[in-house]
Structure 1
Amino acid sequence: MILCVDVGNTTTACGVFRRDGLPVRSFRFRTRTDLSAEELLLLLRGFFDLLEIPVRALKGVAFASVVPPLDGLWETVVRRWLVKEWVAVSPERVPLAVKLRRPEEVGADRLVNAYAAWRRWKRAAIVVDFGTATTFDCVSGRGEYLGGAIAPGLEAAAELLFQKTAKLPRIELTPPSEALGRDTVSAMRSGLIYGFAGLTEGLVARLAAEMGEDPLVVATGGLASLVAPHAPSIREVVPELILEGLFWLYGESLGEA
């Protein structure tokens, strides 16, 4: 089995795949930069035990990160205690032609999302990742990464309302029952969820028009299920799309794909 790891600014997503690509289980936890190697190992072993995944069954790890201080820690833990096959996915490893003015600026996570969408559907796509930031990544039908857009994340926006206003509370992000909020909390939920749905629709329309293609719109990320039902342009919801991309890139790096 292969462990695929995506270290984000807020959350670390992990997925275990069989060698044939069938997903086994996935789990998420808060990204922390203060963990020791031993603490990270215990955290991972705890999830493996909970999900009844034998650590000895792991054969390799595919890793992507936007938190550089954690890269060395993860490699140390994996190589010392888990497996020897370690593939760190950098932007250079993603087989997409990058059509940007400054290609070095794009993060591996955005490229992996675009690659996974193109690999899965073999057509033009816009991947909307509802994570710490809300990112829109565009890939052409020829497998070219065209760029996209970056907007605030849903959780970040909710936290900003709490921090920057005197009377607005910190709320749990759950689906609103209606747009017309009848109290402060329901009004905040409506503004956030429906507001981000409107943001999504507006940006997707502009991006699709500039792409000059008919892209498939795919939602991913931990908060995708909150917004996607209210954004008609979204046709597919794959919360762990980046983990699929990491699995495929792992196989390609070892000549197995």
Structure 2
Amino acid sequence: MVLVLDVGNTNIVLGVYSEETLLKEWRLSTEITRTADEYGIKVLNLFKFSEVDPKEITGVIISSVVPNINYSLERMIEKYFKIKPMVVGPGTKTGINIKYKNPKEVGADRIVNAVAAHEKYDSPLIIIDFGTATTYCAMKRNGDYLGGAIAPGIKISADALTQRAAKLPKIELTKPNSIIGKSTESAMQAGMIYGYIGSVEYIIKGMKKELMEMGEDEPLVLATGGFAKLIGSSTKYIDVVDPYLTLDGLRILFLKNKE
């Protein structure tokens, strides 16, 4: 079995695969002050609760956009799983062609998503990851990763609004039935959710236009990440919500590089 870790700014998502099957998935909050031992205790408790034997893990791969946490996680894997983890970064074989001006600037999470999408979907692609930041990636059918856009995530936007406006309360990010809010809370929800959907649709339309001007067919639009279901269910511009795209990409990268 293979353990995969997707380290984001808000959460660490862990998955255990047996060949191509995702057996278990867990989330931990990302805390850069935690030690290797603290992470070890938490991860082993997840294994114990889910009745998964840590001794059955034969390989580990980590993708991280939080450099300050990497040492603790790598040390934790070596100490508690007796395995040197594979870390996604320069030198990792991906099977895609990164056309960024400086390929080293592309976040590991975006590379992992692109690898999974290219492997799973035979199409030009727009990949949207709704995380702490919302990232948009554009790919040709042949695996050329062209680049994309990065925007504040919807939760960051909501938090900034309440922090900077003294009389506005914190709200639950759920879609109201009407754009015309009848209360402060529903008005904020309408502005955040429907306004965010509008920005997503605008970027998708622009990326589709640019890809098709390059001679590509109309791209398939994929969404993943914590808010993918909320946004994806509210717009016709997103074709597929793939909640496990990043974990699948880590599994694929592990197989490509395990030699």
The TM-score, its normalising length taken from structure 2, stands at: 0.94
Alignment match, 1:58: 57
Aligned partners of 1:198 and 1:231 also within 8 Å: no
Matched residues in 1 for 2:242 and 2:90: separation?
Answer: 22
Aligned partners of 2:74 and 2:84 also within 8 Å: no
User: Structure 2 counterpart of 1:236, which letter?
Assistant: V
Give per-residue Cα distances to partners, 1:57-79, cap 9 Å, x unaligned.
21111101011111111111101
TM-superposed deviation, 1:240: 2.1
Give per-residue Cα distances to partners, 1:112-139, cap 9 Å, x unaligned.
1111111101221111100011110111
TM-superposed deviation, 1:102: 2.2
Alignment match, 1:14: 14
Alignment match, 1:181: 181
TM-superposed deviation, 1:163: 0.3
Alignment match, 1:40: 39
Q: Which residue of 235, 238, 246 corresponds with 2:239?
A: 235
Matched residues in 2 for 1:178 and 1:51: separation?
Answer: 41
CA 124–34 in structure 1, closer or farther in 2 if over 3 Å, else same: same
Give per-residue Cα distances to partners, 1:18-57, cap 9 Å, x unaligned.
1x21111111121000101111011111222222222222
Matched, 1:86 2:85: yes
Matched residues in 2 for 1:75 and 1:226: separation?
Answer: 33
Matched residues in 2 for 1:238 and 1:49: separation?
Answer: 28
Moved over 3 A (4+): none
In the alignment, structure 2 segments of 5+ residues that lack a partner are: none
Matched residues in 1 for 2:40 and 2:97: separation?
Answer: 36
TM-superposed deviation, 1:91: 4.5
Between stretches 104-113 and 135-144, larger displacement belongs to 104-113
Partner of 1:180, secondary structure, is coil
Matched residues in 2 for 1:24 and 1:228: separation?
Answer: 25
User: Structure 1 counterpart of 2:52, which letter?
Assistant: I
In the alignment, structure 1 segments of 5+ residues that lack a partner are: none
Matched residues in 2 for 1:91 and 1:238: separation?
Answer: 26
Alignment match, 1:120: 120
TM-superposed deviation, 1:193: 1.4
The TM-score, its normalising length taken from structure 1, stands at: 0.95
Equivalent residues, number: 254
Matched residues in 1 for 2:256 and 2:84: separation?
Answer: 13
Partner of 1:118, secondary structure, is helix
